[in-house]
Amino acid sequence: MSISLYRATIPVYLRGLTVMADYIRKARAHCEANAVDPVSILTAKLAPDMLDFTAQIQRVSDTAKFAVARLTGVESPKFDDDETTFDQLRDRIANTEAFIAGILEDRFDGAQSRQITLKFRTQQTTMDAVDYLFKFALPNFYFHVTTTHDLLRAQGVEVGKMDYLGPFEMQPV
Amino acid sequence: MSISLYRATIPVYLRGLTVMADYIRKARAHCEANAVDPVSILTAKLAPDMLDFTAQIQRVSDTAKFAVARLTGVESPKFDDDETTFDQLRDRIANTEAFIAGILEDRFDGAQSRQITLKFRTQQTTMDAVDYLFKFALPNFYFHVTTTHDLLRAQGVEVGKMDYLGPFEMQPV
């Protein structure tokens, strides 16, 4: 059984971005219902030298758009990382979603021969599209979605595992 | 470009389990170097009603072994969830790794026609192998790996993003 590179990316990122939009809605609702200053959520961190809630959401956007851009060669939109409100973060996610939803399956046609180079401070690594997807792109994306979830949990916002997994078509047992 | 169900699971889980073994080593080293009681890490949580460090590692093991078992029909090993030390958690991860490393590619031959049903409290959902992989198995696995990482960060253990991503074959820039 084989999986197309399209299936392994576009619907996966769209699903994760839907989850992120829901997290942002729930975070705002939590602030409104409990008279919590939104800034306390927007700047919340799990450790002093980790990225805060706002930056985690920016990284979810980046990891999705950069992965799709690298795999297809389509240029990704630029965002300024200047969001300071829930509404602006909601728009960032919506704009990321719009870019990714617009990528058609045939854009992945050349991916097979694409070599992707990742640059770190003093070193770099080069790999094919599938290794890039499973060793870097997907783990990185899920890292920031999960850390957003963990930050909300640590701040007392009511989100649960089913929110993280996203919607399923359910039937009664 | 297409990806086999084997490539999308076995090497992915093995890579994540290698990361987990490293986290456990680093957590123990942190306790030894800083005279920290291991119990404070083993029972650390990000929120009072979240699973602790020990349970996150057990869920990493479960999400890996159950996904592979569901996709191949091979019975997964049973573990008692009775680990109370870093050494026992290391062994749990090693035993999970041994099970997954032993699954050969041809075990996935029938996966194409496999329908997978997930049961929740009062509802259930049925999907094919690829939807199961991308909507449930992989996000769930990465959730628990990332939350283990986030727990260690919140406890001051020195782990970073490169530990989470795992080893790459690097060249100088």
**Contact (CB<8Å) A11/B134:** yes
B169 located within any domain: no
**pTM for the model:** 0.98
Which of A22-31, B110-119, B126-135 shows the lowest mean pLDDT across its residues? Answer: B110-119
Domain membership of residue A32 as a residue range = 5-164
> What pLDDT, on a 0 to 100 scale, did the predictor assign at position B1?
60
Asked if residue B134 has pLDDT above 80, the reply is: yes
Dist. CA A94–CA A14, nearest whole Å: 10
> What pLDDT, on a 0 to 100 scale, did the predictor assign at position A111?
87
Asked if residue B93 has pLDDT above 80, the reply is: yes
B36 in Cβ contact with B30 (< 8 Å):
yes
**Contact (CB<8Å) A138/B136:** no
B97 in Cβ contact with B103 (< 8 Å):
no
A123 located within any domain: yes
CATH of the domain at B122: 1.20.120.450
B167 in Cβ contact with A168 (< 8 Å):
no
**Chain A residues near residue B145 by CB distance under 8 angstroms:** 139
Over residues B14-42, the pLDDT tens digits come to 999 999 999 999 999 999 999 999 999 99
Compute the nearest-CA separation of A7 from chain B (Å).
Answer: 9
Asked if residue B127 has pLDDT above 80, the reply is: yes
> What pLDDT, on a 0 to 100 scale, did the predictor assign at position B173?
87
Quick one: closest CA in B to A72, which residue? B1
**Chain A residues near residue B135 by CB distance under 8 angstroms:** 15, 165-166, 168
**Contact (CB<8Å) A139/B165:** yes
**Chain B residues near residue A47 by CB distance under 8 angstroms:** 153-154, 156
Q: Which two structure tokens, joined as six digits, stand for B131?
A: 């939807």
- Residue B24's Cβ-count burial label (10 Å; 0-12, 13-18, 19+) is buried
A37 located within any domain: yes
Q: Which two structure tokens, joined as six digits, stand for A4?
A: 């197309």
Q: Which residue has the higher pLDDT, B45 or B121?
A: B45
> What pLDDT, on a 0 to 100 scale, did the predictor assign at position B118?
95
How many structural domains does chain A have? Answer: 1
Residue percentage of chain B with pLDDT more than 70: 99
**Chain B residues near residue A143 by CB distance under 8 angstroms:** 142, 146, 149, 161, 164
A47 located within any domain: yes
Dist. CA B151–CA B153, nearest whole Å: 5
A115 located within any domain: yes
How many pairs of residues across A and B have Cβ atoms under 8 Å apart?
Answer: 149
A65 located within any domain: yes
B82 located within any domain: yes
> What pLDDT, on a 0 to 100 scale, did the predictor assign at position A156?
98
B102 located within any domain: yes
**Contact (CB<8Å) A8/B12:** no
> What pLDDT, on a 0 to 100 scale, did the predictor assign at position A2?
85
Task: Please determine, for the modelled complex, whether the ipTM score is greater than 0.95.
Answer: yes
> What pLDDT, on a 0 to 100 scale, did the predictor assign at position B81?
98
> What pLDDT, on a 0 to 100 scale, did the predictor assign at position A113?
81
Is the CA virtual torsion A98, B132, A109, B6 positive or negative?
positive
> What pLDDT, on a 0 to 100 scale, did the predictor assign at position B2?
85
Asked if residue B153 has pLDDT above 90, the reply is: yes
Residues of chain A predicted below pLDDT 50: none
Quick one: closest CA in B to A48, which residue? B154
> What pLDDT, on a 0 to 100 scale, did the predictor assign at position A1?
60
> What pLDDT, on a 0 to 100 scale, did the predictor assign at position B113?
81
pLDDT bin (cut points 50, 70, 90) of residue B135 is very high
> What pLDDT, on a 0 to 100 scale, did the predictor assign at position A123?
95
Compute the nearest-CA separation of A67 from chain B (Å).
Answer: 15
> What pLDDT, on a 0 to 100 scale, did the predictor assign at position A42?
98
If you average pLDDT over residues B78-105, what whole number do you get?
Answer: 98
**Contact (CB<8Å) B125/A169:** yes
**Contact (CB<8Å) B122/A172:** yes
Asked if residue B138 has pLDDT above 80, the reply is: yes
The per-residue pLDDT of chain B, averaged, comes to 96
Asked if residue B108 has pLDDT above 70, the reply is: yes
Interface test with B, best of A123, A132, A138, A150 (most B CBs within 10 A): A150
Q: Which residues contact B9 (CB under 8 A, 6 or more apart)?
A: B67, B68, B71, B108, B133, B137
